[in-house]
Amino acid sequence: MFNLFAVSDFSVYVIIYVTYDIILSGNEPMRRRDLTQKQQKFLSYIRDYSRDNGVWPTYRDISDHFDFRSPNSVTQNLQALHRKGYLQRDDAGFHFEEEDGTPGKAVGIPIQGVIAAGHLQEAIDENLGTITLGTLFPQIEKIFAIRVSGNSMTGAEIMDGDYVLLIDDDIPNGGIGAILYNGETSLKRVFYDELGLRLEPANEDYDDILVRPDVFEEVRMLGRYVGHVNQNGIYKSAGYGS
């Protein structure tokens, strides 16, 4: 399960939610009620967007599409779709009901057999289970995703629009991670010194950011980088699990 929000070079975006393994309360699904024309357009937009992009649109995407003046309008529409039975809701946020009607079923890549990487041998065709995100990331319950806005980490092959995967863990000296400082966020390589932090970009066009908090300012480690996702696939950090 991933909580998804966007982070840029020190600009905060609104939180949205995307679920992977969906946990439901076990209650009977609500009976669906008729939607207004505007609610139908809203539902069609988020359904089409999630189908085409593999993730839900952000509040900003939705607000821009419908010309909403406030994120409140997005929330109100989501709540209306939930009340009328078109969306499910749990601790991770709003989501669609599973297509096959089986809540909580994890989608994975089927393992269909064994192939020799040495001498030729008889093909073995059998069902060996599935590869899921839990296979790739054993501590998946501690991992969440952040959408990147900006080009300061391109030298680490983290591009604008990618989704970085962060684990709720300390960031080692020189490691990549997300920092919250005085209400603002940034994804950088983190170095510690006696005065605070130095946030180093992976792009020569950007300068280091020196974080020198006083006693009234908050610095929080949001998470350690363990990989990223884009349209080309999932990339796992070599340091994951260390």
Is 152 in the active site?
A: yes
Identify the CA nearest to 19 among candidates 81, 102, 96: 96
Tokens 């969306």 sit on residue: 87
Which residues 6+ apart lie within 8 Å of 167 measured at CB? 139, 142, 143, 223, 224, 226, 240
Which residue is catalytic, options 63, 186, 188, 237?
188
Q: Where are the beta strands (DSSP E) in the chain?
A: 2-8, 12-18, 88-90, 93-95, 109-110, 113-114, 124-125, 130-131, 143-149, 163-167, 176-181, 184-193, 196-200, 209-211, 219-230, 233-236
Which residue is catalytic, options 63, 152, 186, 237?
152
CA distances from 190 to 50, 62, 99, 187, 201 (A): 33, 33, 42, 9, 9
- For residue 154, the one-letter residue type is T
CA distances from 33 to 39, 40, 77, 78 (A): 11, 11, 14, 14
Is 41 in the active site?
A: no
Active site residues: 152, 188
